Structure 1
Amino acid sequence: MSSAVKETHFEFPGQIDFYKGKVRDVYIFEDQLAVVASDRISAFDVVLPRAIPYKGQVLNQIAAKFLEATSDLVPNWVSIVPHPQVTIGKKCVPFKVEMVIRGYLAGHAAREYNAGKRVLCGVPLPEGLKENDKLPKPIITPTTKASEGHDADISKEEILAKGIVSEADYTILEKYTQALFERGSQIAREKGLILVDTKYEFGKFGDKILLIDEIHTPDSSRYFYEEGYEALQDAGLPQKQLSKEFVRQWLIKHGFQGKEGQTVPEMPDEFVKEVSERYIELYEKITGDHFVKDESVDLEKEIETAILKHI
C-alpha cells in the first residue's frame, strides 16, 4: 500500500492562521490561502480513520482542471497549483451555504423522497419518481455550511429571511450554480458519464463573488455511467456510479451512518485499495487523462517546499 498524507503540520513565514477541514489542511495568510488536499476521506460528515492513497492528488488535479474549464463562466479563487496536492489562491470570505444542485433523484434526495418527503429545501418534487430517475429539471437544494458537525438542508426562502445571503448575491449564486452544472454535465456527457448532482461553494474577495473549493470531484459530485443507464432504471437495478456513495453504502452495511452512538467500522487494506482505485478510475474517466501517481519518497517535504516557493 502506497503512503498517504493524512495530515500536515507546517509553519510558514507570514502565516496568520491554520484550519483543518474534513479533508483539507488550509494555511492562511494575509490575502491568500495555501490548501493541501490530504488523503483523508469523510462520509456522513465524519472523517474516517484510514487515509486513501492518491485521493488528495485525484481531488486536487480534477478540481484544478475543472476550475480552469469553467473560468470563462465564473471567476474562481485559484492563483497557482504548485504541487499535485496543493492549490494556492485568493483568501475569500465564504458564504455560509453550499449550493447543491441535482439533476437526478439520488443519494440524500432519494433517501428523503423514499421517507415520504415531497418538498426538499423548499422545492416540490413530483409523485411517482423512483431512485435515480432524472428530475424534470435540475433543482437547487442548498445546505448550511456547518463549521463542525452536520450540514443541514435549508430553503432559499430561509436563507433570505435569516439574512445568511443577500437577495442580490443569492441571485448571482443561483445563476453561477446553474451555469456550472450545465457545463459540468456537458463535459461529463462527452466522457460517457452523467453528472447526477454536485455542490459548489462561493466566497467574496472584496465585493466580487468567486467560486471557491473544489468542483466536479468524486467528493463533491456523483456520476453515473451513461451507457446502460436506461436499462438499469427500467429493470429497477442500482446504477453503476463513480462517486464516494459506494463508501457510504459500505459504511451503512457495516452499521454506520454518522448517528450518535455508532462506531466507525475499520476499513481493511483491501477496501482502502479499492477506494483508491475507484478514485483513480473517476479521474481517468472524467478527465480523459492518464493518472500519473505521485510516487515521491517524502510527500510531506515536497508539499512544504512547493508552498514555501509560492507564498
Structure 2
Amino acid sequence: MIPRAVKETELPTLSLKGRGKVRDVYDFGDKLLIISTDRISAFDVILPDPIPDKGKVLNSLSVFWMEKTRSICSNHLISANPSSYPVECKPHAEMLAGRSMLVTKAKTFPVECVVRGYIIGSGWKDYQATGGICGISLPAGLKQAEKLPEPIFTPSTKAELGEHDENISFAKVIDLVGQEDAQWLRDKTIELYLFGSRWAEERGIIIADTKFEFGATDDERILVDECMTPDSSRFWPVEQYSTGISPPSLDKQFVRDYLETLDWNKQPPAPSLPDEITSKTRQKYLDIYRILTGSELPTS
C-alpha cells in the first residue's frame, strides 16, 4: 500500500524558519529541525504532485552517507531519532520518523558545490559550446555521458526559490568566499564524491555527478543539507550505461525527461504528473535507496 504523501508540514508547537523547494525548516536556537517533505521540483519549479516516500528516501539516504563520511568531513547531523528531539517535537514524532533530522545551525556558503565525474546535462551543453565546463578545458571529442579523465569541480550560484542556479568559475568562488575556503570547498567536494562513487560502483551504480552544500559554525566548516541523494545526483545503473545518450537513471532526471516532452515553458505553474509517472518515480527512489544501503526503506 502506498502511504499518503506529506506535501507540507504545519506544526503549531514549533517555530517555522522557512520552506525550501523540498524541506521545511524549524528553528531551535542553535539547532534546526529539517523535515524532508514529498514535494518535488524540476527546473527550479515546485510541481503540484508530491511523490510518496520521497522525503524519507532523501532524509534516510543523507543520514546514511553522513554517518559514513564523518572521517572525510564533519557534518550538521545531530540525530535522526525523534525520541531525542526537543520535547516540543513529541506530538509530531510519528510524522517526523524517517523524514527529519535535528542538525547544528551553520552559516551556509553561497555556493552550490557541484562535482562531475561524467559529462552530461548542462555540463554537456557547456562542453559542446565552449570545449569545457565552468571554464575548465576538457579533451576534444568527448561523447555525451563519457567518463571524464578525473572528477571536476563545477560550482554554481545558490539561487533563491524560483530562480535558476548559474554555473560559475573557481575564480568567482574565491571572490565569494576567499582563497582558503574556496580550496577547502573544492577539495572536500571531490573527496566526498570519490568516496561515494566508489561505494556506489561496487553496488552497480554510477554517480555521474552530485552537489553538496557546506556551512561554517564558530568552530569548523561542515557538510549541510543533503548528501548524494536522487534529488542532488545522477545515478546510472552500470548495466544500462552507454555513451552517446543520456543513460536511464534512478533519480529525479526521470521526471525532468517527462516534463521535457510537454509544451511547458518551465515557469510556474508546473503541470501535474500522471499517476504512472508519480508511481515510477517513487519506485526509482526506493530502488536507489535499497541498492546503495542494502536495506529496504521503512515505509510504514
Q: TM-score, normalised by structure 1?
A: 0.87
Q: 1:215 to 1:257 in 2, by over 3 A?
A: farther
Q: Which amino acid aligns with 2:181?
A: D
Query: Structure 2 CA distance, aligned partners of 1:96 and 1:173?
Result: 11
Query: Structure 2 CA distance, aligned partners of 1:237 and 1:167?
Result: 37
Query: Structure 2 CA distance, aligned partners of 1:7 and 1:191?
Result: 34
1:248 to 236, 239, 256: 256
- Which residue does 2:131 correspond to in 1? 118
SS of residue in 2 equivalent to 1:203: strand
Query: Structure 2 CA distance, aligned partners of 1:209 and 1:277?
Result: 35
Q: Is the 8 A contact 2:144 2:245 kept in 1?
A: no
Q: Which amino acid aligns with 1:80?
A: S
Query: Structure 1 CA distance, aligned partners of 2:274 and 2:202?
Result: 35
Query: Structure 1 CA distance, aligned partners of 2:284 and 2:264?
Result: 21
Query: Structure 1 CA distance, aligned partners of 2:199 and 2:262?
Result: 35
Query: Structure 2 CA distance, aligned partners of 1:256 and 1:111?
Result: 20
Are residues 1:277 and 2:283 paired? yes
TM-aligned CA deviation for residue 273 of structure 1: 1.1
Are residues 1:291 and 2:290 paired? no
2:170 to 152, 156, 163: 156
Q: Is the 8 A contact 2:134 2:167 kept in 1?
A: yes
CA RMSD of aligned residues (A): 1.6
Query: Structure 2 CA distance, aligned partners of 1:168 and 1:186?
Result: 27
Q: Which amino acid aligns with 2:52?
A: P
Q: Which amino acid aligns with 1:265?
A: P
Q: TM-score, normalised by structure 2?
A: 0.90
Query: Structure 2 CA distance, aligned partners of 1:228 and 1:271?
Result: 20
- Which residue does 1:11 correspond to in 2? 12
Q: Deviations over 1:156-194 (max 9, x none)?
A: 112223xx2111111111121111011001110111111
Q: Is the 8 A contact 1:34 1:86 kept in 2?
A: yes
More deviation, 35-44/118-127? 118-127
Are residues 1:100 and 2:114 paired? yes
SS of residue in 2 equivalent to 1:241: coil
SS of residue in 1 equivalent to 2:39: coil
Q: Is the 8 A contact 1:122 1:157 kept in 2?
A: no
Are residues 1:189 and 2:188 paired? no
Are residues 1:143 and 2:156 paired? yes
1:133 to 117, 121, 146: 146
SS of residue in 2 equivalent to 1:227: helix
Query: Structure 2 CA distance, aligned partners of 1:48 and 1:225?
Result: 26
Q: Deviations over 1:90-109 (max 9, x none)?
A: 00000000100000001221
Query: Structure 2 CA distance, aligned partners of 1:74 and 1:32?
Result: 19
Gaps of 5+ in 1: 295-311
Are residues 1:42 and 2:41 paired? yes
Q: Is the 8 A contact 2:24 2:37 kept in 1?
A: yes
Gaps of 5+ in 2: 82-96
Are residues 1:264 and 2:273 paired? no
